[in-house]
Amino acid sequence: MIDFGYTLTRDRQLDYDRGDFRYLKLVKSLEPSMDLCIGCGSCTATCSAAGFTNFNIRRLHTVIRRGDPESIKAELKKCMFCGKCQLVCPRGVNLRNLILAMNRAIEILG
């Protein structure tokens, strides 16, 4: 895409080249096991909150990874922190702490 310095519409694709990876870096330093995810979705499937509302922990952590953290800020507040996700993750991702880390990242980076 040619950069004219201005744009009429926002890009709809994930623009990896202009992604915001500060969150990823911080969250990863707080919970390194986030790298182990293979996107199986069992965390979301078992999630207590996901039974009631649009809260998808797998997606949240994937969008941080893709450098598009904006969309997660409102959603992350819905977590009840019950820890079921952590008990089903087949990769041993420390999910509760990962959510805590994402919260910290939002707190620190805004």
Residue 66 binding other proteins, by CB under 8 A: no
What is the footprint of other proteins within residues 74-103 (CB under 8 A)?
74, 77-84, 87-92, 94, 96-97, 100, 103
3-state DSSP assignment of residue 56: coil
What's the alpha-carbon Rg for the chain, to the nearest Å? 15
As given in the structure block, the two tokens for residue 58 are 């797998």
* Of 21, 48, 66, 67, the one binding other proteins by CB under 8 A: 48
Q: Please state the closest distance from residue 31 (CB atom) to other proteins, in A.
A: 7
DSSP 7-45: -SS---S--GGG---HHHHHHHHH-GGGGG-----HHHH
As given in the structure block, the two tokens for residue 108 are 């620190």
Cβ-based nearer residue to other proteins, 22 or 33: 33
Cβ-based nearer residue to other proteins, 22 or 96: 96
Residues that bind other proteins (CB under 8 A): 30-31, 33, 38-53, 55-56, 58-59, 74, 77-84, 87-92, 94, 96-97, 100, 103, 106-107
